[in-house]
């Protein structure tokens, strides 16, 4: 089902992108009157503040490789006879140079360092908390939200709801968004949503729609990501990919915004296209089957080459079409805050759009120090590299990942 939204949804058939238009209310396409009566007027919408929570611990490629190679040596030693007989395949070591060349990642922030680097464990050690304590996702989300509120010049009383949009939620219920509402003292409504790495941009469109149509004055979109908890640190091809972090965005009526960090939400576009090439089969039904409960597919798995080959042109095509529909020349876009998954992917996407290599100012990178933080990545780039843009500058916030899912948000600096 397609909802009447500010932007449009896209579907993909074969090799072409087809737009399915809902209610045509692209943000700021014209000047619209504002009123305090909810549900009767279409409002212009801005992002008025962003926030970031960064974990205290960081793991370098060299540290990660030392742990991984220790595991490999132990595995090959323990299975030497079976390897000799051809019954077990020997594992290969990794290297810091391989990781950086394959991904562009040099280090990543993590919620727990010791457990990940222990060759006997190789996963975060995050003890279960009492139900009377904040959950760990709530704690991360609150920290990011408080910074976003401060930058927006808002208090909890100014916010009418919370959307938690991330790739992994630590429990089925109650919703983390409602827990964060209580922690912050936010009234209104809250819900959780998951569109993997595109969760933040999908959440921003949902928030924009609600604010635009008068259902809320302002909403928080929060993306707390503990990606290291669903990563197989024993897999050479993926053990280096993810890091942890959390972001928050205040989406607000333009006529109520007062901050110095405002961006008009010009338009939003979303594209889902089902694919098994990025997948995680962990879920509540796992316990009902006696087979495969701890199999590798209950963590992050991907067909990396297929993802690269298929997703890059889809993202470039969607963003180009989105800009064209809003009568924006690609040369007028001053910045691309892209999903921070792989440096080569970002280079290729922007090159397809610009027809040349992008400068680091045009397509800033935080991947090298944060790793892939899933839905938080593009917003971390936005949060970190926005203050230098001049008034009126146009930019694109875009995420893409499992689903497949792609989100594009056109922004204008106020």
Query: Which residues have a catalytic role annotated?
Result: 197
Spell out the residues 6+ positions from residue 336 whose beta carbon is closer than 8 angstroms to its own.
350, 353, 358, 362, 363, 395, 396, 398
Instruction: Tell which residue, 142, 171, 63, has the closest CA to residue 110.
Output: 63
Indicate the SS3 state at residue 150: helix
Tokens of 272: 């889902």
Closest to 55 in 3D by CA, of 209, 180, 226: 226
Contact in structure between 328 and 414 (CB atoms under 8 Å): no
- Whether 216 and 210 have beta carbons less than 8 Å apart is answered as yes
45-53 and 263-272 beta bridge pairing: antiparallel
CA 325 to chain centre: 25
Q: Are 115 and 124 in contact (CB under 8 A)?
A: yes
**Is the bond leading into 174 cis (omega within 30 degrees of zero)?**
yes
| Longest Cα–Cα distance in the chain | 77
How buried is residue 286: exposed, middle or buried, by Cβ count under 10 Å (0-12/13-18/19+)? middle
Q: Report the Cα–Cα distance between both ends of the chain, in Å, rounded.
A: 34
Residue 111 to residue 74: CA distance in whole angstroms: 26
Strands, E, within 166-305: which ranges? Answer: 189-193, 218-226, 244-253, 263-272, 278-279, 301-302
């Amino acid at each position: 089902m397609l909802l009447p939204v500010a932007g449009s949804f896209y579907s993909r058939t074969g090799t072409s992108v087809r737009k399915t238009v809902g209610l045509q209310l692209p943000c700021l396409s014209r000047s619209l009157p504002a009123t305090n009566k909810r549900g009767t007027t279409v409002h212009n919408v801005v992002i008025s503040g962003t926030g970031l929570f960064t974990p205290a611990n960081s793991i370098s490629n060299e540290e990660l490789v030392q742990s991984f190679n220790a595991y490999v040596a132990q595995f090959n030693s323990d299975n030497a006879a079976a390897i000799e007989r051809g019954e077990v395949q020997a594992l290969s070591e990794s290297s810091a140079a391989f990781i950086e060349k394959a991904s562009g990642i040099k280090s990543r922030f993590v919620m727990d360092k010791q457990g990940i680097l222990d060759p006997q464990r190789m996963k975060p050690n995050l003890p279960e908390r009492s139900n009377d304590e904040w959950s760990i996702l709530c704690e991360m989300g609150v920290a990011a939200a408080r910074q976003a509120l401060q930058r927006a010049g808002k208090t909890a009383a100014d916010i009418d709801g919370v959307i938690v949009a991330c790739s992994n939620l630590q429990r089925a219920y109650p919703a983390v968004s409602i827990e964060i509402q209580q922690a912050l003292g936010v009234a209104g409504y809250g819900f959780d949503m998951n569109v993997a790495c595109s969760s933040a941009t999908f959440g921003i469109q949902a928030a924009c729609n609600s604010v635009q149509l008068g259902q809320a004055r302002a909403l928080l979109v929060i993306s707390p990501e503990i990606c290291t908890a669903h990563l197989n640190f024993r897999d050479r091809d993926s053990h280096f990919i993810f890091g942890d972090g959390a972001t928050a965005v205040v989406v607000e009526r333009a006529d109520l915004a007062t901050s110095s960090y405002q961006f008009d939400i010009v338009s939003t576009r979303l594209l889902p296209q089902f694919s098994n090439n990025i997948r995680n089969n962990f879920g509540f039904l796992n316990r009902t089957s006696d087979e495969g409960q701890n199999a590798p597919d209950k963590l992050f798995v991907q067909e990396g080459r297929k993802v690269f080959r298929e997703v890059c042109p889809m993202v470039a095509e969607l963003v180009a079409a989105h800009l064209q529909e809003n009568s924006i020349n690609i040369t007028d876009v001053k910045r691309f805050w892209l999903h921070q998954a792989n440096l080569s992917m970002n280079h290729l996407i922007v090159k397809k759009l610009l027809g040349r290599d992008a400068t680091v100012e045009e397509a800033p990178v935080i991947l090298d120090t944060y790793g892939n933080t899933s839905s938080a990545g593009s917003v971390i780039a936005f949060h970190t590299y926005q203050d230098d843009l001049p008034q009126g500058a146009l930019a694109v916030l875009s995420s893409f990942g499992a689903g497949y899912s792609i989100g594009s948000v056109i922004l204008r600096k106020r």
